[in-house]
Amino acid sequence: AVDLLEKMLVLDTDKRITASKALAHPYFAQYHDPDDEPEADPYDQSFESRELEIEEWKSK
């Protein structure tokens, strides 16, 4: 369990374990059903690089 948590808590999204790989981790083996696990599109974090004023962020 500690191994999985360490991989899930990595701040760098490029190095963090993916949901698919996390579900395949031995910790979840008894719950893992590859035929019943849809995959979502990758999270779009492009908004984080936008430079907005504080009031603009508040209105979003």
C-alpha to C-alpha distance for 4 and 28, rounded to whole angstroms: 10
Contacts of 3 (CB under 8 A, 6+ apart): 25, 27
The CA distance from 48 to 27, in Å, is 33
Per-residue confidence (pLDDT) for residue 50, from 0 to 100: 77
Alpha-carbon distance of 6 to 27, in angstroms, equals 13
Return contacts of 28-34, CB within 8 angstroms, 24+ apart.
Answer: 28/4
Structure confidence by residue, pLDDT tens digits, 3-55: 999 999 999 999 999 988 998 899 988 887 878 878 888 888 887 777 888 88
